[in-house]
Structure 1
Amino acid sequence: MKRIGLYLAASALFLFLLVWGVAAGTDWFVISRWNAKDSSVVVIENLLGRRIDPESGEGGEWESEFVKLLILYRSGPRAGSREEVEIMQLADSRLSLLPGKEYLLLADAFDDGTVQYSISDRYRVPAVVGFITFACGILVIVAGRSGFKALAGLFLSLLFLIGWFVPRLASGYPPVPFAVLSVAAVSVATCFFVVRKRELRPIPVFGAVGGAAGASITGWIMVSLWQLTGLESDSAALLASTSPGLSLRGLLLAAVMVGSIGAVLDVAVSVTSSMGELYEYDPSIPRKRLWKAGLSVGSDVLGSMINTLILAYLGSSLPFVVLIATEGADFIGLLNDPHISQEILRSVAGTVGLLLTIPVTAAAGVWWISSRRKEPPVPGDGLAD
């Protein structure tokens, strides 16, 4: 117990120093390279007063106010200097201005030489990076080598998706084929670090790609029958206006595939691990028994994974769902709403992808494991028996 206590204490101290160092280093890196002329990172040292903007009227929905602040510049050519500025904001602004906290100050210069200041948001980059480092450190401390491997697979997957997949889509490449390639690449990266037995790593890759392809086909059928345009969200509409050459329907299907990678891989890895353990316990296990074991484990995992997938989609669109509920929309109207239809598409297509992942992974596992038997298979143990 004493050794465990010392280990936890040392780990906590190391994690604290690591988080502090990463956050401080991130802050230095961002501030030293912040050269924007119309924005600065500032510290609010004091609130000097408020006054209502007479041109906006009092008590209206868009009532605005002027707030006089004493600020300390942290970035740009004026870093280290103090200045009194008067910013303009909505009177009911949800962003509280707190002395001692850091914010992003915007300066809009007009043709007559006047400058209008405003606070756009909190400066939170170091805190975000620090909390990410803290979460990763906790995972490594608790899970050890397995946690480190999981993080390595995650970061490699994110690097591939953000550094290769997204730029290809922005350049006008077809979304669905590149989504299939991305699913395969992410599956390979994840299985390389997560699946302990090296000889079993290709099996969940086959299952994940098969499940993602099934989700894509299901989504394509639903998009065609429901006549969804891919313009159902504000971000998609903005993207269409700035990049009219992009296929928004293809992006919708690609989003379904990429969004289901985690759940699909979870099911595929679970099925693969169970089949591998059974084969290791009994190398002469019949293929039919191996197939049934894979389906059985997949069915047990399926329920929780469907909940995970659908509730994740619901959570991501919860503000919009609450907005519709406050407007008193009826159930039929909700089903016909294009935003709701898009979320239903994601959920149904992702669920079909999960369903297909189980037999695809089981079939790939039977084929892959049987092809590597050291002894000949027992006569009459085929899948058709």
Structure 2
Amino acid sequence: MGHDHSRPAVAAPPRVRRVLIATVVPLFLVTLVAALVLWPRDAPEVGGGEDAPRYHGTVERVVTEACPPAPETPEGTTAGPCGIATIAVETGPDAGQRVETPLPTGAGSPSVEVDDKVVLVVLTDPADPTVSSYSIAAHQRGKPLIWLALVFAVAIVAFGRWRGLAALGGLAASFAILLTFVLPGISAGQAPLPVAITGAALIMFVVLYLTHGVTAQTSVAVLGTLASLVLTGLLGSLATAFTHLTGYGSEDATTLSMFQADVDLHGLLLAGIIIGSLGVLDDVTVTQAATVTELAHANPDLTRLQLYRAATRVGRAHIASTVNTIVLAYAGASLPLLLLLTADTRGVTEIVTSEFLAQEIVRSIVATLGLIAAVPITTGLAALVTTAGRGGTTTPRPRRPAGERDEALAALSGPRVATGPNNIPDGPGRPGNTESTW
């Protein structure tokens, strides 16, 4: 076994393959058993009431008019665009007919123009159920999303070829595991932390081996990722307990607790840290395993310790940029929250130590610590596997015979070769010419 991102690497010794198989296969079987034990069998159905019927339509005409001033707002200010939109209904009982509906107003309401594809909802008058009307709920986003997904897939396959196709398969497998195991398991009341670790391990096995092949190098990345995931979970448990986080630090979590009171929001916070760390962890572990393999291929004389030190220097540079990536990713996802903080009148210390911001700080720190630990763990494993065939010692290169070395040194130390007008030697056999010697 062995692997390289650009060419087949030299196969690992049989003893190394046997050790890796004896290590990885039991871990995979344990993951499968854990998934079967935690698999959601009685996921509760969330009852949020009956949704209003939704149908598709196309905007054919928009007539705007001045909005009457609202009593609670100063004169001259308006709540938004006012007017009537004529829409051709495409689905539902009124398909083929044209209906008129008021333009949506208020914060976050969609802005519609002629030829826009929209989603319509039917609202029934509570006082008279026989009276109903259409209202614009949102834009249709199905086709734009499909086109974006196609561009995404074509770009990946065009650049990555078969590896890109395997990456798409791994992405599909990740979403399948999240949607069929992790989310239903947590909704069914299972402890979020073991569900997240098991789901992340399943994603890791499928994605890494599918994308990078069943090789010794991939097995090293799998072991490094799994060890780092477990360490991240332990660090997350300690950090959230130390900072007394409850998981109620966001409006989404509070809303979820209203619909599903049996969900452990503290465990859900830990699960989010683990799932969020997985994508960056497998990037680092695969890179470190590949770096050790490349260094050993480029210089077979490197000892195990030299391989570890050289690859760790690469890992330090990778971590330096990845830490910034993690923080910016969390900051981007929480940008509305950060903007809200700038308008907060409380002191800086009180804001930073509040749960909704402390939660993001702990999330970033724990993910970074797990990422840092992944570098020495994976690099050490890769150095052990790569040098296992030679026991970690150097293999001396063959030396030239003494006579050939003396002749080469004499040729190199002799007078310079006479050259012609184009700085080309006049020919072999001249004093100092090394062509015949070499």
The structural deviation recorded for 1:326 is 2.6
Structure 2 gap ranges (5+): 1-50, 395-438
Q: 2:281 aligns with which of 243, 260, 264?
A: 264
Alignment of 1:20-169 (within 5 A): 38-50=53-65, 52=67, 59=74, 63=79, 67-83=83-99, 85-87=100-102, 89-90=104-105, 94-111=109-126, 112=128, 113-169=130-186
Residue 297, structure 1, aligned to residue 314, structure 2: yes
Q: Give the structure 2 partner of residue 336 of structure 1.
A: 353
> CA 1:91 to 1:302, structure 2 compared with 1: closer, same or farther past 3 Å?
closer
1:122-158 deviation digits (Å, cap 9, x = unpaired) = 1111111211111221222233233222222222222
C-alpha distance after superposition, 1:194-235 (max 9, x if no partner): 336722111111111222222222221221122111011111
Shift of 1:364: 2.5
Q: Which runs of 5+ in 1 are unaligned?
A: 1-35, 380-385
Distance 2:384 2:193 in 1: 28
**Amino acid across the alignment from 1:102:** K
Partner of 1:250: 267
**1: distance between equivalents of 2:341 and 2:103?**
32
Give 1:367 shift.
3.9
2:303, 2:387 within 8 Å by CA — same for their partners in 1? no
**Matched-pair contact (CA < 8 Å) for 2:220–2:382:** yes
1:356-382 deviation line (CA, Å, top 9, x unaligned):
1112212322344455x2x45539xxx
**Corresponding residue pairs, total:** 341
Question: Which position in structure 1 is the counterpart of 2:236?
Answer: 219
Amino acid aligned to 2:238: I
For 1:271 and 1:328, the matched residues in 2 are separated by 46
Task: Return closer, same or farther for 1:79/1:368 CA change in 2, 3 Å cut-off.
Answer: farther
Deviation at 1:68, TM superposition (A): 2.2
Point out the more displaced range, 322-331 or 44-53. 44-53
1:18 — aligned with what?
none
- The code of the aligned residue for 2:94 comes to R
Partner residue, 1:4:
none
Matched residue, 1:8: none
Which of 186, 210, 233 aligns to 2:250? It is 233
Q: TM-score, normalised by structure 2?
A: 0.71
Structure 1 length-normalised TM: 0.80
**Separation in structure 2 between the aligned mates of residue 306 and residue 49 of structure 1, nearest angstrom:** 50
Q: Which residue of 2 aligns with 1:5?
A: none
* Amino acid of the structure 1 residue aligned with 2:235: T
Structure number with higher helix proportion? 1
User: After the TM superposition, which of the residue ranges 191-200 and 247-256 deviates more from structure 2?
Assistant: 191-200
Separation in 1, partners of 2:56, 2:69:
29
Deviation of the 1:249 alpha carbon? 0.6
Q: Which amino acid aligns with 1:261?
A: L
Q: Where does 1:298-337 land on structure 2 (aligned, <5 Å)?
A: 298-337=315-354
Would the aligned equivalents of 1:88 and 1:116 in 2 still touch at CA under 8 Å?
no
Does structure 1 conserve the Cα–Cα contact (< 8 Å) formed by 2:249 and 2:359? yes
Q: How far 1:120 sits from its partner (Å)?
A: 1.5
Shift of 1:65: 7.4
The 2-side partners of 1:339 and 1:264 are apart by: 25
Cα distance, 1:53–1:140 mapped onto 2, change above 3 Å: same
What is the SS of the residue equivalent to 1:227? coil
1:53 deviates by 6.9
For 2:89, give the aligned amino acid.
Y
Which whole-Å CA distance do the structure 1 matches of 2:201 and 2:385 have between them? 18
* Structure 2: distance between partners of 1:329 and 1:62: 31
For 2:147 and 2:353, the matched residues in 1 are separated by: 43
- TM-superposed CA distance for 1:72, in Å, is 0.7
